[in-house]
Structure 1
């Protein structure tokens, strides 16, 4: 059963779409490390950064129903907008994540445990705010660090982007066992039938 918004699908609806006569493709837009930690069985990892820089090539490889997913839905929605602008259709965003999918009995592949990118952003932002306030007790200008982080989080919410997340996703911790090139990632997508 899908949710009321036509471009969204819940985890139960995804399970139905994966067992139908024309199964949906699942594109996981999280970092390779997040994907390696746990992913829906059969999902293809195409990180958001690859979609942002190669949207026409990725859109050209998509055919049929495609469900985009991440941890919270934010990156999947960004990917949907980018791919739709590049001409892809049949795109849906998963309302839910890997753990919610697993809780409904869906098959999940598990690997090395790592923190999600959203959790890393919360840790770094919170630490910087705390450091700015603490340092501000001795050096009042240090409080500007906390103000800067607060402003950055506000802009992030208003624009539905996350610069800190992009920076953190480039760290070695967030790469998979071997970083693949954009061409290697795109080549893993099924060829269109048209």
Structure 2
């Protein structure tokens, strides 16, 4: 007996979802075809429709991949003993991706901008779900530190990241992320609960 009735089918679906996440990040939704994703997954184009009926279904699968990767990252960060360390490690993870960001931007942020312009789907709400997941995680870290307005602090953190990602991509300059990441790390270090402020 096997763990799954269709292990090959599950593997192909996962390969297609992973390929969709990668190709959509590199090329954008409008420039990407189902054939592009099939080629990246090394699966015949005709077979794609067995797993995903439309390109929008592949976009949803890509968003699920992003959400899964984010959940895996935050789980790893949660192993660190201190919320301040976790937040700084998140910034370090962003900086580590600076060369990919310079070429293609933030995977979720670029999708959010592109999908917002489409009026015929709810895909923009799916992107918002992924962004909220990160916001909620960051808010929890700031709250655990005993800081006032943890939600606003999380918004500041994510806004700074999206801004530096946009400029890093637009100017093709990974050093922007390096410098702004250092500023974010310093900012996190300076935050203190009101009763501990000198």
Q: Give the TM-score normalised by the residue count of structure 2.
A: 0.25
Structure with larger RCO (C-alpha < 8 A, sep 6+): 1
- The structure where helix makes up a greater share of residues is 2
- The structure where strand makes up a greater share of residues is 1
Q: Give the TM-score normalised by the residue count of structure 1.
A: 0.25
